[in-house]
Amino acid sequence: MLVEKMNINNHLQKDNRSQKQISIFIKRKRIFLITFLIVIVLYAAASIATNYDAIKGLASIPKAIVWITKNLIPNEKSWERLPKILSKLIESSLLSVAVTVCAAACAFPFSLLGTRTVKVNLWIARIVRITAAFFRNVPSVVWAILLLFSFGQNILTGFLALFFTTFGMLTRAFIESIDEVSSNCVEALNAAGATSLQTVFHGIIPSSMPQLVSWILYMIELNIRDSTLIGLLTATGIGAMFDLYYKRMDYGSASLVVIFIVILVIGIELISNKIRKVIM
Amino acid sequence: MINEFAIANASISSQNCIRKTRKGKIKITSKSTKEYVIKLTILILLVLTVCAFLSFDYKNIDLAKAISETWSNVKVLLGEPKLSYSTLPNVFKALWITFSLGILSTISGAVIGILGALLCAKNIANHIIANIIKSFVAFIRAFPTILWVLIFTVAAGLGSVAAVVGLTFHSAGYLIKAYAESMEEIDGGAIEALKSSGAGFWQIAFQAVLPSSISRMVAWTFLRFEINFINALAVGAAAGAGGIGYDLWMAGNFYFDLSELGFITYITVFSVIILEIVATQVKINVR
């Protein structure tokens, strides 16, 4: 009698377990279906709002490839423009390095005020985070348009426009990596009675430097790509060169600009990956 | 006392023992390649920065005047936001268009991204195909988004098609890399178990790889959506697809109306901040 009951109980438990497992699969299927439907509805709504036609979009890709192979090939005339293109390319890459270094130099002390590890003041930390969020989220295009008013089509316009966004992004990245990496050694230094300056110079800087350098390298990559867009708006650097040739329909020279931008970006990515591999 | 502690800390982190000079002094600086490379990198970057500032063509700009003018412009921009050329419904309509451009390019990018990532994740894919796809994707990512869009405006004409396809190229490249990395992070045991019971490529992909990496992939997708929204702002205007970027450009470069520019800027910043909060929440919740 007792054994029978236990058997039945066992069966019941097994049944329950298998039911539970099935319900997980059903649940997963349901979640998948609902997300799928939401994505399709969003896609349809967005297509209607922008008059986007997916078929036309797909059809444009082979068309674009054909057009690229026909037109975007450097010709003899464009090779004559090579020195000018290269000098603008160097200008743009130096600009993005300078922007990133200056922004990093400003963002590091600023981010120290916002970290949890240094604990300057809760309110100061909050203000730092909000300021960083503001600078990060105002698109660099807005800065460029605003600065064009008084700086005109000057290289400083591009510099400052990129500087503000880079500053915001680096501040956040620095805060996060300092919090992640340095908390142990800061705790140890605090326990030994170090002042906050000593903590910074003997604890935070040595332990978080690899992360910070890695972030700086990443921002340089990003800024080189962004400087093309800003260059279009502020008529400086490599972006303006591309715009000029493109609007003149001198596609040969425009393609040369594109090729060199791609080489530059890939080159910088390779170098920074090598550096990252050594320091991390 | 403190210094000694720091020294001990530094040398433990580098070599796990205290190194001494011939005279018995503890060496404070360590000479590992890692620190050498970091110092060299910083030095080169600083030298390049100095070169940059020396080589720039400033066109004799009056810096003090420009800065004070910009400051007063910022005060108008942030202090007196007002719409005079556009209306509130129009601005929100433009915002929705930019938002839609972001949605379209993120969804298309994500679909291509999943397929591409399955073909180039190291733990499940063929190594030769994976390397080919990875280098191709790195090549696509090297193009600035704006160049893709401008190329497609010639091939497909001005309009949303050029903007969406151009944005999709870069986001697909980014998402293939991000998805492949999240797939490579999963536990190898599940794949091995399925392989040993004779499962094929697609069975492994759908039963082991996707379920265990989906949460990270969702986080990446939302992050990319935020980036795509900001890109769509600039690109929408350049490709003639409209949107809030076009309004910004008109207010700034056509009407020269700082108050209108300020109003649109506020709306843009608020929507970007909301997107960032959503992306962060998704990132926290799916983990």
Whether residue B69 lies inside any domain: the answer is no
- pLDDT at position A5 is 55
| Rounded Cα–Cα distance for residues A241 and A226 (Å) | 15
- Cβ pair A211, B39 in contact under 8 A: no
**Lookup: tokens for B190:** 């599940």
| Rounded Cα–Cα distance for residues B217 and B213 (Å) | 6
Could you tell me the pLDDT band of residue B2, with boundaries at 50, 70 and 90?
Answer: very low
- pLDDT at position B8 is 47
User: How many structural domains comprise chain A?
Assistant: 2
**Lookup: tokens for B216:** 């990270």
The answer on B139 and B15 residing in a single domain is no
User: B256 versus B50: which is more confidently predicted?
Assistant: B50
| Rounded Cα–Cα distance for residues B248 and A138 (Å) | 12
What whole-number percentage of chain B has pLDDT above 70?
Answer: 91
State the CB neighbour count (10 A cutoff) for residue B205.
22
- pLDDT at position B29 is 62
Hey, which residues 238-267 in chain A have their CB within 8 Å of chain B? 239, 242, 246, 258, 261-262, 265-266
**Lookup: tokens for A245:** 């040739």
Structural domain boundaries, residue A36: 18-55
| Rounded Cα–Cα distance for residues B27 and B19 (Å) | 6
Average pLDDT, integer, range B191-218? 87
pLDDT tens-digit profile of A46-88? Answer: 888 888 888 888 888 888 888 888 888 888 888 888 888 899 8
Average pLDDT, integer, range B62-71? 85
Could you tell me the pLDDT band of residue A241, with boundaries at 50, 70 and 90?
Answer: confident
Could you tell me the pLDDT band of residue A8, with boundaries at 50, 70 and 90?
Answer: low
Backbone angles phi, psi at B20, to 5 degrees: -125, 155
What is the distance in angstroms between the Cα of B126 and the nearest Cα belonging to chain A?
23
Asked whether the beta carbons of residue A60 and residue B143 sit closer than 8 angstroms, the reply is: no
Please report, for the domain that includes residue A215, its CATH number.
1.10.3720.10
The answer on A43 and A142 residing in a single domain is no
Residue in the structure block whose two tokens are 């990596």: A177
Over chain B, what is the mean pLDDT? 84
| Rounded Cα–Cα distance for residues B22 and B105 (Å) | 64
Please report, for the domain that includes residue B241, its CATH number.
1.10.3720.10
Weakest-pLDDT range from A3-17, A217-231, B87-101? A3-17
The answer on B127 and B40 residing in a single domain is no
What is the distance in angstroms between the Cα of A16 and the nearest Cα belonging to chain B?
24
The answer on B274 and B220 residing in a single domain is yes
pLDDT at A45 over 60: yes
Query: Predicted ipTM?
Result: 0.80
| CA-based nearest residue to B224, from B102, B98, B95 | B102
Whether residue B81 lies inside any domain: the answer is no
| Rounded Cα–Cα distance for residues A199 and A188 (Å) | 9
What whole-number percentage of chain B has pLDDT above 90?
Answer: 22
The answer on B271 and B148 residing in a single domain is yes
pLDDT tens-digit profile of A173-200? Answer: 999 888 888 778 888 888 888 888 888 8
| Coil/strand/helix, residue B26 | strand
User: B61 versus B185: which is more confidently predicted?
Assistant: B185
Q: Does A137 touch chain B (CB under 8 A)?
A: yes
Residues facing residue B20 across a β-bridge: B26
- pLDDT at position B104 is 93
The answer on A212 and A89 residing in a single domain is yes
Over chain A, what is the mean pLDDT? 85
| CA-based nearest residue in chain A for residue B230 | A139
Contacts of A260 (CB under 8 A, 6+ apart): A85, A86, A89, A238
Hey, which residues 81-120 in chain A have their CB within 8 Å of chain B? 91, 94-95, 97-98, 100-102
| Rounded Cα–Cα distance for residues B154 and B54 (Å) | 38
Average pLDDT, integer, range B199-223? 87
pLDDT tens-digit profile of B103-142? Answer: 999 999 999 999 999 998 888 888 899 999 999 998 888 8
| Rounded Cα–Cα distance for residues B224 and B237 (Å) | 20
- pLDDT at position B203 is 87
Structural domain boundaries, residue B175: 86-286
